[in-house]
Each structure stands twice: as C-alpha cells, then as structure tokens.
C-alpha cells in the first residue's frame, strides 16, 4: 500500500509525532516557558529587505491589527546624490501591499522594516500613569488592555511612533513581539513570514542564538541611540539617513 | 485609676478612629488593587498570561513539515530553502489543527511570485528579480519553475 506520510498522519493522531515546540504551539501551551531565561529583541538586516510587505500582512493576520494601523511597517527611503540629510521617505499603507515597482537610476533607495524597539529604558513605560504598559521580565514591552485608560501619553512618548490607540478597544496597542508565540517556542509572525530572512527574532540571553554573531560580525546600530532608550531591535547596514 | 480612664477617654476614641481608618484603607486598597499588581513591577502580573495565551494564526514551518515532509525535502535542496511555508501559503494554524475541516488554498502564482521577484530599483541588487512582462509574457511562473525549488 502506498501511503505517504501525510495520509498516514491524518489518521494516526498528528500530535503524537509533532515535535515538542510545534505541539506546544498548536495546543497553546506555555508551561515550559521560563521568563527568567529569555531577553528578547530582533535582528534586522536592511540589505536583505525587498519591501514585499509579507511582515506587515502577517502581523495584521496574526494580531488582528485594524486596517490603517500598524504594529510593524516598512519604509522606503530614497536619497538623491549627497543629500542624505533630506531623504524622501514613503510607506504607502505601511507597505501592507508591498511597493509599486519603479525603475529609478542614479538614486540610492532601500527599505527599512520598523516595529517596536522593545527598549530597556522605554519612554512609553515611564510615561504610563496607571501601570498598564510595562517591561516584561523577559524584555518585551507590553500593554495590559484591561488596565489601560486610553490616555495616549505612551503614544506621544514613543520616539519611534510605534504605538496607536486601538479604534474599537480605545486602549493603546503595539507590537507584542508576538508574545503569544515566543512563549510557545515559535518565532514572531513577521519573522515567520519574511521570505529573505531580513528579520530574525533574537534571544539575547541564549548564548546559542545567532544574534550574538550578528552583533559581533556586522556594522550594527539601533534607531535614535541619542534618545538613550536602549532599543533592542538591531539594524545591520543601516544608512545614516534613516531616522 | 477610674479618674485616669475617664480622662483618657478622648485618646481611646482617637485610637479607635485611627484603627477604623487604617482598616478602611486596607479594605479599600484590597478592593481596588488588582490581583498580582506589583509582583514583577508596577503592573498587573496576570496580564503576561492574558497576552501569552492568545491564539496563534501562523502554525510555524515545523508544524507544516511534520506532515508535508515531501515538499519540505524538495525545499531544502532549492533556493527557497530559507523561505518558510506560510510566507507564501499564508497563516495556516487552523489547517494544522484540523487538516480535514480547514483545507489550505493553493496560492495564485500570478500574484504571489511577482510580489518578491518583480524587478524594482529599490530592492537589493543581489536579490533575483525579473521584469515579468519581458521574462515570460502570458505564461504562469509555475509552467517552468517549481515554487518549492525554483531553479530550472
């Protein structure tokens, strides 16, 4: 009998064979997760981003991000000649439908994916008057939507423009670094969907994580270092024109 | 002694009042401060679990590869080895949970392939790109390319 593995599994109870993390994720199991063992961030290779918008769509699908609002988005930079002080930046619908192709010559242009930087010294956390937004013990900046009063202080405080007021919940909303996924052993939706590996979830407490080599071997910077936020989203080969 | 008690009566009233105020404050505090507030910091600790237990939509390539090992094997040998399944096929956790009830839909190559591979001067030069109009006009990408291992 010629049974392929899929047909076999369909009848044989797939959860017996699913690997540990895949099973934990599908069952919604966070039991094996120890917050003290992780310190989350992200490594972004700008030279690999093709502006396809997969990350933006994946984020919206995974997190139910309302239309017109973004937890992650992609910006397109264009620098004419030596005028790096005045880059042209656009992000039509956050890049959710990609970018219309163009054939420009003689200009420098590239894509920059953006998201919450999960700062260690987060201005948003410091400005929250009710303790609704906080740094989790594993280094993720989260919003307690049951406790948020929707005062918008954090939205103004974020130097990266990563927050918005949810149009129906009327609470602050932002990237959770897919906290509901990383606590189940999965990567974030944006990293899962990125076809070129331009963005990689990084566990800075895990000595085996490739992020350490990424930080050691490349020219890496964070956005707006002068804000002293100690951002944990690290950009490789980021042009100085990027704000 | 009797005199002393009588003279300190106002003090007893004061102490009683103080006790009532303190107990009242503690009861009020207990009522308004949510469970777990302050366990890790100035926030509600159970919020961590509220967020962590939200359902997932992307199953992750490991779950896909458990059943679709034939495609996974083809993919590891090709140029799309690093592209995870749901990058093209979309979020399929529902399908992974119950493959019979939730069928995966085959993506449309006309819309999908060009999303990444249409030539664009903004894309990094090292990334393989084609002007689809000139490359193979009117032809579907999958006529020549196997999307799981696209090199011809």
What local confidence, expressed as pLDDT, does residue A32 receive?
87
Place of tokens 């939205």: A155
Among chain A residues, CA nearest to B39? A137
pLDDT range class, residue A5, cuts 50, 70, 90? low
Range of the domain at A65: 35-119+186-236
What local confidence, expressed as pLDDT, does residue A18 receive?
61
Residues A100 and A203 in one domain: yes
CB A57 within 8 A of CB B88: no
Q: Which of B45, B119, B124 to mutate to test the interface with A (most CBs of A within 10 A)?
A: B124
* Per-residue pLDDT tens over the stretch B17-45: 999 999 999 999 999 999 999 999 999 99
Contacts of A112 by beta carbon, 8 Å cutoff, 6+ apart? A46, A49, A74, A75, A76, A77, A235, A238, A242
Residues A140 and A227 in one domain: no
Q: Which helix (H) or strand (E) holds A7?
A: helix A5-12
What number is the average pLDDT over the span A75-97?
94
Residues A89 and A105 in one domain: yes
Alpha-carbon span A117 to A33, nearest angstrom: 22
Residues A109 and A80 in one domain: yes
Residues A87 and A132 in one domain: no
Query: Residue A25: inside a domain, yes or no?
Result: no
Alpha-carbon span A130 to B26, nearest angstrom: 20
Q: Name the 3-class secondary structure at A154.
A: helix
Contacts of B140 by beta carbon, 8 Å cutoff, 6+ apart? B109, B110
- CATH at residue A67: 3.30.70.20
Q: How far is B37 from chain A (nearest CA, A)?
A: 9
Alpha-carbon span B23 to A55, nearest angstrom: 53
Indicate the pTM of the whole model: 0.89
**Do residue B67 and residue A78 have CB atoms under 8 angstroms apart?**
no
Residues A162 and A195 in one domain: no
Whether residue B140 has pLDDT greater than 80: yes
* Per-residue pLDDT tens over the stretch A90-131: 999 999 999 999 998 889 999 999 999 999 999 999 999 999
Residue ranges covered by each domain of chain B: 2-52, 61-144
Query: Residue A180: inside a domain, yes or no?
Result: no
Whether residue A189 has pLDDT greater than 90: yes
CB A198 within 8 A of CB A45: yes
CB A91 within 8 A of CB B2: no
Residues A220 and A195 in one domain: yes
Residues A114 and A50 in one domain: yes
Residues A130 and A232 in one domain: no
Using an 8 Å CB-CB cutoff, list chain A residues near B82.
Answer: 195-197
Residues A131 and A68 in one domain: no
What local confidence, expressed as pLDDT, does residue A132 receive?
96
Residues A54 and A39 in one domain: yes
Domain count, chain A: 2
Longest Cα–Cα distance in chain B: 111
Residues A107 and A220 in one domain: yes
**Do residue B41 and residue A135 have CB atoms under 8 angstroms apart?**
yes
Among chain B residues, CA nearest to A96? B115
Using an 8 Å CB-CB cutoff, list chain B residues near A131.
Answer: 37, 42-44
Closest CA to A59 of A222, A152, A174, A141: A174
- The partner residue sitting opposite A76, judged by closest CB among B57, B83, B122, is B122
Strand order across the A107-115 sheet: A88-90, A72-80, A107-115
Alpha-carbon span A87 to A78, nearest angstrom: 6
Closest CA to A112 of A130, A95, A124: A95
């Amino acid at each position: 009998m010629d049974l392929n593995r899929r047909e076999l599994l369909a009848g044989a109870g797939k959860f017996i064979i699913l690997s540990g993390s895949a099973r934990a994720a599908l069952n919604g199991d966070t039991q094996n997760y120890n917050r003290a063992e992780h310190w989350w961030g992200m490594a972004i290779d700008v030279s690999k981003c093709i502006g396809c918008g997969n990350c933006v769509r994946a984020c919206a699908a995974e997190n139910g991000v309302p239309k017109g609002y973004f937890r992650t988005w992609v910006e397109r930079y264009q620098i004419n000649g030596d005028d790096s002080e005045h880059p042209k930046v656009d992000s039509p619908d956050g890049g959710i439908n990609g970018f219309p192709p163009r054939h420009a010559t003689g200009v420098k242009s590239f894509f920059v994916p953006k998201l919450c930087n999960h700062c260690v010294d987060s201005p948003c956390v410091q400005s929250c008057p009710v303790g609704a937004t906080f740094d989790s013990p594993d280094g993720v900046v989260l919003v307690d939507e049951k406790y948020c009063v929707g005062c918008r202080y954090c939205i103004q405080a974020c130097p990266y423009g990563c927050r918005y007021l949810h149009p129906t919940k009327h609470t602050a909303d932002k990237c959770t670094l897919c906290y509901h996924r990383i606590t189940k052993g999965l990567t974030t939706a944006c990293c899962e969907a990125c076809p070129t590996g331009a963005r990689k979830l990084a566990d800075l407490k895990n000595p085996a994580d490739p992020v350490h080599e990424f930080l050691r071997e490349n020219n890496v910077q964070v956005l707006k270092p002068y804000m002293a936020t100690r951002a944990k989203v690290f950009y490789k080969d980021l042009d100085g024109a990027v704000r | 002694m009797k005199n002393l008690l009588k003279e300190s009566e106002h003090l007893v009233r004061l102490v009683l009042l103080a006790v009532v105020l303190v107990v009242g404050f503690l009861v009020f505090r207990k009522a308004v401060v949510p469970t777990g507030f302050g366990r890790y910091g100035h926030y509600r600790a159970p919020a961590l679990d509220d967020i962590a237990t939200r359902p997932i939509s992307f199953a992750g390539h490991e779950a896909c590869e458990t059943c679709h090992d034939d495609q996974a094997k083809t993919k590891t040998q090709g140029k799309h080895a690093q592209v995870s399944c749901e990058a093209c096929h979309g979020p399929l956790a529902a399908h992974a949970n119950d493959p019979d009830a939730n069928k995966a839909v085959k993506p449309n190559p006309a819309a999908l392939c060009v999303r990444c591979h249409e030539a664009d001067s903004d894309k990094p030069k090292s990334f393989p790109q084609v002007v689809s109009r000139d490359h193979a006009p009117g032809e579907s990408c999958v006529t020549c390319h196997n999307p799981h291992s696209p090199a011809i």
